[in-house]
């Protein structure tokens, strides 16, 4: 697709035809702005169009449709595999939904044994998340987001509230670190702080006792 600016629409069409090396009838053209002479020579507007080959547009549409069909196929395959896993486990759980967004598979599980599957302080959640991540990464080269009975949503809300003070220290002092965090919490904090401070150094640091915290600061050599 190309964007063309010219004094008249006719000139714009000719330019598009020349640059795409194709007849005007074989082009898909959208007029973004019609030309105008203005008033007394003021506020004159040029013609602006975008153009592409008709076959190219059809190909893009087909590719998008094929991607959509492929995603539906993957969703069904992953959903059925997780459904079988839940049915063969000792937990009364069901796979409610599987969605694919970009390179991430969003998985939602729920059922009577949700609390048991999550475990104390989320230790079973972490284990099943790790297992599903490895399987999907190896087989489909995609990441996962696992939700069990709004556990992830609640954890994110808790971290959002906790990070208010951490962000305040980063904004005023240029540096801050979280308290030691466990399991999914360290991952959530890392993701949220990296999104909040894309131009700062944000990383996980281990404490002397082996626990982990997130540190935020300037990159070495960065100007103040």
- For residue 116, the domain's CATH number is 3.30.300.20
Q: Considering 60, 77, 100, which residue would you say is the last residue of a domain?
A: 60
Give the other-Cβ count within 10 Å of 188's Cβ. 20
Q: What is the pLDDT of residue 221?
A: 56
Same domain, 130 and 145: yes
Q: What is the pLDDT of residue 93?
A: 94
Count up the domains in the chain and report the number.
3
Among the listed residues 150, 221, 223, 153, the one whose alpha carbon sits nearest the alpha carbon of residue 188: 153
Task: Answer whether residue 77 is part of any domain.
Answer: no
Task: Answer whether residue 186 is part of any domain.
Answer: yes
How many alpha carbons lie under 13 Å from residue 12 in its C-beta half-sphere? Answer: 23
Task: Answer whether residue 68 is part of any domain.
Answer: no
Q: What is the pLDDT of residue 126?
A: 86
| DSSP 8-state assignment for residue 216 | E
Q: Classify residue 37 as exposed, middle or buried by CB count within 10 Å of its CB (0-12, 13-18, 19+).
A: exposed
Total residue count of the chain as it appears in this document: 224
Is residue 2 within 8 A of residue 19, CB to CB? The reply is yes
Task: Answer whether residue 222 is part of any domain.
Answer: no
Task: Answer whether residue 84 is part of any domain.
Answer: no
Domain that holds residue 106: 89-149
Query: Considering the chain, what percentage of its residues have pLDDT values greater than 70?
Result: 90
What is the full per-residue pLDDT of the chain (224 aa) written as tens digits? 788 999 888 898 899 888 888 888 778 888 888 888 765 555 678 888 898 887 766 555 556 555 677 888 889 999 999 999 999 989 999 999 999 988 899 999 999 999 999 988 788 888 899 899 999 988 888 889 999 998 888 989 999 999 999 999 999 999 999 999 987 888 899 999 999 999 999 999 988 888 899 999 988 755 44
* Cα separation, 185 vs 71, whole angstroms: 30
Same domain, 140 and 179: no
Same domain, 162 and 196: yes
Rounded to two decimals, what is the model's pTM? 0.55
Same domain, 107 and 158: no
Q: What is the pLDDT of residue 43?
A: 61
pLDDT tens for each residue of 146-180: 999 988 889 899 999 999 999 999 999 999 999 99
What residue has token string 């507007």? 45
Task: Answer whether residue 73 is part of any domain.
Answer: no
Between the CA of residue 19 and those of 1, 4, 29, 33, 59, what are the distances in Å? 11, 10, 13, 20, 20
User: Terminal CA-to-CA distance of the chain, rounded, Å?
Assistant: 42
What residue has token string 């969703």? 75
User: Could you tell me where the beta strands, DSSP code E, fall in the chain?
Assistant: 2-6, 27-33, 47-53, 93-101, 104-111, 143-148, 176-177, 201-206, 212-217
Same domain, 131 and 161: no
Is residue 48 within 8 A of residue 5, CB to CB? The reply is yes
Task: Answer whether residue 46 is part of any domain.
Answer: yes
CATH number for position 167: 3.30.1370.180
Task: Answer whether residue 47 is part of any domain.
Answer: yes
């Amino acid at each position: 697709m190309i964007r063309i600016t010219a004094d008249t629409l006719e000139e714009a069409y000719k330019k598009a035809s020349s640059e795409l090396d194709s007849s005007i009838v074989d082009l898909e053209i959208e007029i973004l702005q019609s030309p105008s002479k203005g008033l007394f020579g003021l506020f004159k507007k040029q013609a602006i169009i975008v153009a592409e080959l008709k076959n190219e547009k059809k190909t893009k549409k087909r590719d998008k449709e094929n991607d959509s069909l492929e995603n539906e196929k993957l969703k069904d395959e992953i959903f059925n595999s997780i459904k079988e896993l839940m049915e063969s486990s000792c937990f009364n759980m069901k796979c409610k939904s599987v969605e694919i967004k970009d390179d991430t598979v969003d998985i939602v599980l729920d059922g009577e044994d949700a609390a048991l599957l999550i475990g104390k302080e989320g230790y079973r959640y972490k284990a099943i998340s790790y297992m599903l991540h490895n399987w999907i990464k190896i087989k489909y080269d995609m990441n996962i987001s696992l939700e069990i009975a709004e556990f992830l949503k609640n954890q994110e809300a808790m971290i959002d509230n906790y990070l208010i003070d951490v962000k305040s220290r980063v904004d005023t002092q240029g540096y801050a670190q979280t308290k030691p965090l466990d399991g999914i919490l360290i991952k959530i904090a890392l993701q949220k702080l990296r999104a909040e401070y894309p131009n700062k150094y944000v990383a996980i640091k281990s404490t002397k006792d082996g626990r982990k915290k997130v540190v935020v600061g300037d990159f070495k050599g960065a100007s103040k």
